[in-house]
Structure 1
């Protein structure tokens, strides 16, 4: 894996900005920490624990989607109630991600991961046993909060347990799990709902997390031991001062901005985009600007900003955020509209609709884990190439389904292309960017990038969902609406490709 410098040149992985260098320029403390981590807990076991926890959290964003019809019938829930069951997790998850990142820096990443995992597991049990819609909505918010505390710690623990080439492979697995979970959630949700285990209907969609979470809670205290420097200040380089305060003003501004953005994105389409939704989006922009201004002033005064300027200015970080937003918006929007088309116009049941995404999920995961095997000279253009492949594949999906058929074998080929293309567009960007982040900034970087991913998914569902639903009135109209939406997805992917090419042109100059 060859991370890029600000100028676009490549850096050998073994000597890369792996995060082992502290602010003072020394590496001995970080190296000693990494050695202690490897002695205390096998890195493979640690990676398995944190990535399994991460996968559960990502799956729960999507696993409920295909269960909604069954859930609504069983609980006699209203449309608004079902919206909040689906959206409650997403809202609290997106709003609290940055706060979860800072919490890990304050109390320790291992402790925060286990605390978030415990809350997530307990809330999953409560969701699976919920007697009514109101209780289920409340527990979904708690479940999202637990995921928000757990998720940012995954990257920090990986950064501390791995160096060099093993770190590159671990980050590749991290990025593959993070994004392929969307399609996998659709598949698993369909399987569980269709199985109707012991006549429990939708409840296994939540209860499946409980045994897995309990196993991780048993293995976690020992399996993660040693991959944690401890309390604030252990990271070196003045981290004590930065992590010693919570920056409550920054937290409130950022949480408010994300909340005001998230609520209309997840509820606006169903409500017909009312005035309050547009007002909330406008206020979100105002609060985001206020947050940026406040954090800049705080950093200039020598204070402790919520997000380190080192993270915002890390090599490739701004471009990485743009690419992640575009790729995840396309990913989320595509999964959403194709699910609607299959279960509506094509009459697929939950299982068949979920399994249709198996090629996309498999291609995404395989490419995410193996893209580094490509020749090194190709690495700088993998993202642009991935966006181009995704653009062609989106157009192909629209074409093969445009006549109202099921697409046959050509749909399978196009879905493989979507998964492979989006993985190439996303995984190298995330892996290379994270490789340049120092361990003491890993929590902040994880919060920024995962929040960008989540907001990209929300935006994609809202925007492409609006395009699709605005043109759908029947089976034939659904096929036409899908074609138009696929053209919009193609345009989005082309924008991602252009962003990558612009960077290469600047480098060549």
Structure 2
């Protein structure tokens, strides 16, 4: 990786000269930041944490067989990580602003690596669920610092390119997780079957900690940069309301199918709506009183941000649900081995990577059309995949064309949307914006597994080939309908530059 250098955050103007009036204390003596290494280290952590959202999908049938997990426990193993991750991302973003992005990134990476070791050694489903929740806490501390460090240490076209690579890494992790998971489970290293899908994080995480401790730019807490008063503050009221809304929404969706939709589940869904409404009302009031909300109004109302949030949510609903459903159908329905199931997603990963890294080469006038075009492509592709799988066969050319279209469509729906929105956010708002966008993305994946994933499990029943194929078609229709919502969301919108 080629290194480049830049000045400390807050010290560069549009022309690239230092603006001494905006430098934090001590910036004059701060060493130059090796941005090539910085980007590589933080995106490696980003990729590892996101890989762990999806790598478990391929290992799920093996875990279900060896640990005797129920359908609900399996969903909690997969979604529990994302649950704690999504709920605490905003707090992680705030802690980075208060305590220093480097410090919180490395602390989160250390916790994530330790929890991964515990997951790999878990003896029961209950232990694995608990350690997955801890993994999510570590990821929630680590991941918001990635965007914050990019926003603070890259400027101009360098920042746009870095955000483009970030977006590509963010969603490529889904397909890559399936592939790596298939390779690790099939290799059956030391006879450990599914356990290496977690232990690989230890192998990667320890060297990454050593590199990060040496090469990431040192920073000290700057409460003012985090938007808070001296000494900083965590919006405990907002955090409680947000956690309540997410938990009350997710738990009944994950457990409802297994428990035949009990009355308490419907009560929790109603409570989730109440908690969400209370959160939406509480945050602006806190800002008006001079407090520091989880989502400052200036970030939520930034140009492009409301539409970007909706689009990001829907894109990740599609991403999370599709990977969950297809991983189960390929292995439990069609009887593919873990390696074959993982390699099936190669067209999706390649198409996403190519589209995600090349869309910026298109003429400027075409860029506002990319996100709607991405959702349209995914809608058609989901229908193609569903039709190819509907008869219980292995799909053929139409199936692989659909997988390719899903990858390209998701890249166009997600990457230009994220890059266009975050490029307009001020560097000092980076912690808030990164928390907002990453929370939205992870909630989207969680909602996708909990809704369309539950629909699939409900229709598939005992996961026979015929039942699973029918369930895939039903899930494909739901995915296509969600894609249409994404197509309609902000279809007339243009980023103001």
Please tell me whether the aligned partners of residues 19 and 159 of structure 1 are also in contact (alpha carbons under 8 angstroms).
no
Aligned to 2:34: 42
Equivalent of 2:168 in 169, 176, 182: 176
Equivalent of 1:320 in 301, 308, 318: 308
Please tell me whether the aligned partners of residues 112 and 139 of structure 2 are also in contact (alpha carbons under 8 angstroms).
yes
Alpha-carbon deviation of 1:345? Answer: 2.6
Deviations 1:112-132 (A, max 9, x none): 000000000111112212233
Alpha-carbon deviation of 1:491? Answer: 2.2
Aligned to 1:14: none
Alpha-carbon deviation of 1:34? Answer: 13
Alpha-carbon deviation of 1:490? Answer: 1.8
Secondary structure of residue in 2 paired with 1:71: helix
Aligned to 2:401: 413
The total of aligned residue pairs comes to 482
Please tell me whether the aligned partners of residues 363 and 419 of structure 1 are also in contact (alpha carbons under 8 angstroms).
yes
1:496 aligns with 2:486: yes
Secondary structure of residue in 2 paired with 1:383: helix
Q: 1:37 to 1:348 in 2, by over 3 A?
A: farther
Deviations 1:401-427 (A, max 9, x none): 222221112221211111001110111
Superposition RMSD in Å: 2.7
1:487 aligns with 2:474: no
Please tell me whether the aligned partners of residues 21 and 438 of structure 1 are also in contact (alpha carbons under 8 angstroms).
no
Q: 1:289 to 1:401 in 2, by over 3 A?
A: same
Aligned to 1:343: 331
How far apart, in 2, do the equivalents of 1:222 and 1:29 lie? Answer: 29
Alpha-carbon deviation of 1:81? Answer: 4.2
1:378 aligns with 2:366: yes
Please tell me whether the aligned partners of residues 54 and 323 of structure 2 are also in contact (alpha carbons under 8 angstroms).
no
Q: 1:485 to 1:248 in 2, by over 3 A?
A: closer
Structure 1: runs of 5+ lacking an equivalent: 1-17
Alpha-carbon deviation of 1:37? Answer: 11
How far apart, in 2, do the equivalents of 1:139 and 1:74 lie? Answer: 18
How far apart, in 2, do the equivalents of 1:443 and 1:166 lie? Answer: 19
Alpha-carbon deviation of 1:178? Answer: 1.1
Q: 1:320 to 1:29 in 2, by over 3 A?
A: farther
1:256 aligns with 2:244: yes
Please tell me whether the aligned partners of residues 47 and 173 of structure 2 are also in contact (alpha carbons under 8 angstroms).
yes
How far apart, in 2, do the equivalents of 1:296 and 1:327 lie? Answer: 27
Q: 1:366 to 1:200 in 2, by over 3 A?
A: same
Alpha-carbon deviation of 1:484? Answer: 3.1
Aligned to 1:331: 319
1:352 aligns with 2:340: yes
Alpha-carbon deviation of 1:487? Answer: 2.5
Please tell me whether the aligned partners of residues 64 and 70 of structure 2 are also in contact (alpha carbons under 8 angstroms).
yes
How far apart, in 2, do the equivalents of 1:158 and 1:368 lie? Answer: 18
How far apart, in 2, do the equivalents of 1:452 and 1:466 lie? Answer: 20
Please tell me whether the aligned partners of residues 341 and 479 of structure 1 are also in contact (alpha carbons under 8 angstroms).
yes
Please tell me whether the aligned partners of residues 37 and 225 of structure 1 are also in contact (alpha carbons under 8 angstroms).
no
Aligned to 1:452: 440
Secondary structure of residue in 1 paired with 2:229: helix
Secondary structure of residue in 2 paired with 1:142: helix
Equivalent of 1:475 in 465, 471, 478: 465
1:131 aligns with 2:123: yes
Alpha-carbon deviation of 1:107? Answer: 0.8
Equivalent of 2:149 in 151, 157, 173: 157
